[in-house]
Amino acid sequence: MELLELIKTRRSIRKYLDKRVEKDKLEKIVEAGIYAPNPGGRQGTKIIMLDNPKLIEEIGIVNANCENRNWCGRVVSNEQPSIIDDLSIKSGFYGCTALGIVCVPKERRTLVNVIGSAFVCAENMVLESYDLGVSSCIVGRAEATFENPQMNELLSKWGLDDEYMPLVFVCLGYINGEYPKIKARNEGRTMYIAEE
């Protein structure tokens, strides 16, 4: 698929089938993440790919409980409801069967370029997943999720370097239902200025 078409048609998916994502596809998604642009060529992000639906659900419940779910009537999506739209959704990962966890150096976590590099990494992952026929959704609250002592123990168990911490999640799986249509873009969001 042409890149611009892929960018335009990819949607955040929050309804997943109980079907595992093939390992070769997960490996390609991780590969896309590590090739994301990064400040100063540091290659400072690390990616954990979790392929364990039961554990993903447990972490997802902690993740959802880190969010203030009272956004006073704001609607994220009617087609693909978020934890803000539907309080009956218990997991912030919506039943995905694989989960990418993008990690950054703890001491640099508040720097704009480090935050940006984590989200660019996640964006590369969701674009590659869409091209492979895998649905995805970028989810925040990773730092808050792993402040929970039980969740933090997982990082040690998995062998993540103590100098790193999770910053953003990438939910992965196969869509349950129809793929959402492209939404119209709001007017007035772009400006083009040329020199005389």
pLDDT digits (tens, 9 = 90+) for 160-173: 998 999 999 999 99
Question: Sorting pLDDT into bands at 50, 70 and 90, what band is 71?
Answer: low
Domains and CATH numbers, the chain: 14-173 (3.40.109.10)
Model pTM score: 0.92
Token reading at 2: 């042409």
Q: Is the pLDDT of residue 69 over 70?
A: no
In the chain, % of residues over pLDDT 70? 95
Considering only 13-22, 70-79, 81-90, 119-128, which range has the smallest mean pLDDT? Answer: 70-79
Q: Which residue has the higher pLDDT, 73 or 158?
A: 158
